[in-house]
A and B are shown apart, each in its own frame.
Chain A
Amino acid sequence: MVRLLDVCKVYENGTPALSGINLKIDDGEFVFLVGSSASGKSTIVKILTSEVRMSSGRGMVNGYNLNRIKRSKVPELRRTIGVVFQDFRLIDKKTIYENVAFAMRAVGSSPRMIKKRVPYVLQLVGLDHKMNVYPNELSGGERQRVAVARAIVNNPTMIIADEPTGNLDPKMSVEIMSLLEKINELGTTVLVVTHEKELVNMFSKRVIAIDSGRIISDRTGGYYQNDRIGGLHRNETL
């Protein structure tokens, strides 16, 4: 669940990243966030995970008030969100199993729970046969599947993937998107940030377009077109 109301972000060095963002994502939705480079997509993600604080506006994520959240409560908020990055961010000296188990240990799960859950999640992403392999022995697509496994292992209510397919070839990209779609079907909210037009158009999902820190379009089931704003119908989201 995401609610952003008139959110602005100006970075400390004076760079304006977001201006007047209104955004509403309900539990169980699958949403693409699209836009050209430097349009502010990653900034939105960072605000949602409380990695950066908004300059003005109001925000709510999974029941946590972004304006009032205490530093000590941020880990709690983050446990409700699983994040996947373009560069995978796996620990090279840990095996696949250990990479996923590490995420569970970091939130204080017991070894017994870890032993039960990790193989299940790895099976879900189709990597249960490569549990004891190291990340550099895997293809990019496989690595990203490990990252997805790690993101879902702690049962978050929402997955945020920031350009998860940026380093992958088209076939692998589709694979990852399908995986995320599958996870969404199992009940998890999914927000995918991307600027890959073709990929977005292959899935009939809600697409939010952002440009220069403003939402320029928000429509469901349509295609994402980068050219004209006029040709798109803009939904009121709040």
Chain B
Amino acid sequence: MKLYNITYFLREGVTSIFSHRLMSIAAMSVIMACLLLMGSFSLVVANIENLLGDIEKKNQIVAYVDENWEYEAGNLGVYVQETEEVPEEVTEETEEISEEVTEETQEEVTEEILEEISEEISAGEVDANRDETQLINALEERIGKEILKIQGVDECTVTTKTQALEEFRKDFGEEGEILNGIEERNPLRHRFTITLKDIENTQSVADELKKIDGIAKVTARNDIAEKMMEVSDVTTLVCTVLILILVLVSVFIISNTVNITMFNRREEIAIMKMIGATNSFVRIPFIVEGVLIGLAGATFALLLQWAIYDYVIVEALSTLAFISSVPFGELVWDIVKMFYGVSALVGGLGSVITLRKFLKV
């Protein structure tokens, strides 16, 4: 297509828009409303998805260790023995030797522990820390290893009840002192925090966890994610219906606007056709008009969307402390593509519908 034709089409399109300003403004407004709804909806969805992603990351199962579970020195011994890597293919002859070796090691370790204990008696705090480390080791060895064997488990970290109480105290902040006497009979339990590879596995992993010896209680917080998904499903449905209606209204109004132009220009059109203008030459200015109205609506919608997003959505979300919103800049290109794409399509479609009714000859 020649450049002078393109400038002609654009000029004609713009002239028509200005020749019936009110109708054009009405059409732009409806497109704008449609896009704003579409944009706000997808921005909210983007935020929900972002949030779900967070939850998915945070989606953890907490397994509490039975209060009656206790580790004895023997347990620790087993632990040390097992970590000593014994090659599997050992001949019976070497096995005896290795047993001796391990017994020795065990003795050494026991001696070490005894030494440590005596040191601890004199060293106060260090004493407690030693206990704690041993406890952690034992927990990891006896329960943690089992947990990691479960399909779908990504990581698992252990928190002893002392650590848990410490966290608790932090949460209480200045009022932490009300917990002061409680160490004696710490009501909390040791717990394992299990991170899943995939949120889908929550239930099966929880079931497996319950079977492990020493695990008393399992809590999964899958319900939050499910609630969020339910909410977003409903919003999706409502918004889709609304958007569809608005798209139809936009197409209808643009179609009417172009119809007015065609009526105003019916003589010109007749003359053009009589002279031998091709159908596309006659039609393109009207399509340009529809598309331009759409694009203008999209531009206003984009600016408004930005403002709305920064001042409304972000504000609203920030009142819910646990929600972090996605900055507009991260989403702007998707919004730009969506707005201009949809508006051009709606504008073009509106024109084409009108054009199909006329210009048959």
Contact residues of A with B, CB < 8 Å?
A: 49, 51, 72, 75-81, 83, 89, 91, 102-103, 105-108, 110-111, 150, 154
Contacts and interface: CB of A to CB of B under 8 A. Distances in A.
Contact of A108 (B2, B267, B270, B279): B2
Contact of A51 (B2, B267, B361): B361
Contacts of A76: 276
Given A91-B268, A106-B281, A108-B281, A78 B275 contact: yes
Given A108-B2, A108-B5, A108-B281, A78 B276 contact: yes
B267 A105 contact: no
Contacts of A75: 273, 276-279
Given A51-B361, A89-B271, A110-B2, A105 B276 contact: no
B274 interface: yes
B4 A110 contact: yes
Given A51-B361, A105-B8, A110-B4, A154 B276 contact: yes
B157 to A, nearest CB: 74
B101 interface: no
6 contacts: A75-B279, A79-B275, A91-B267, A102-B272, A103-B275, A106-B276
Given A75-B278, A81-B276, A154-B276, 4 more contacts: A103-B271, A106-B276, A106-B277, A150-B275
Nearest to B265: A91
Interface in B73-98: none
Interface in B239-275: 267-268, 270-275
A89 B275 contact: no
Interface string B6-37: 00100000000000000000000000000000
A76 B268 CA distance: 18
A198 B8 CA distance: 45
Interface of B: 2, 4-5, 8, 267-268, 270-279, 281, 361
A237 B24 CA distance: 57
B20 to A, nearest CB: 14
Nearest to A114: B4
B7 to A, nearest CB: 9
Contacts of B279: 72, 75
B274 A83 contact: yes
Contacts of B272: 102, 106
Nearest to B8: A105
A49 B361 CA distance: 11
Nearest to A111: B4
A61 to B, nearest CB: 13
A105 B273 CA distance: 12
What 9 A-B pairs are tightest by C-beta distance, nearest first?
A78-B276, A79-B276, A106-B277, A75-B276, A106-B272, A75-B278, A103-B275, A106-B275, A111-B4
Contacts of B5: 108
A80 B361 CA distance: 18
B271 A91 contact: yes
A154 B271 contact: no
Nearest to B270: A89
Contacts of B4: 110-111
A83 to B, nearest CB: 6
Contacts of B278: 72, 75, 108
Contacts of A80: 276
A154 B278 CA distance: 14
Nearest to B4: A111
A75 B272 CA distance: 10
A89 B281 contact: no
A75 B275 CA distance: 8
Nearest to B282: A106
B213 to A, nearest CB: 83
B237 to A, nearest CB: 45
Contacts of A150: 275
A78 B274 contact: yes
A10 B2 CA distance: 42
Nearest to A112: B4
Nearest to A89: B271
B356 to A, nearest CB: 14
A83 B278 CA distance: 17
A89 B278 CA distance: 19
Residue among A49, A77, A79, A108 with the highest chain B CB neighbour number at 10 A:
A108
A23 to B, nearest CB: 21
Contacts of A102: 268, 271-272
Contacts of A51: 361
Given A51-B361, A89-B271, A91-B271, A77 B2 contact: no
A77 B361 CA distance: 13
Nearest to A94: B268
Contacts of A49: 274
Nearest to A91: B268
A154 B275 contact: yes
Nearest to B19: A93
Contact of A77 (B268, B270, B276, B281): B276
B11 to A, nearest CB: 11
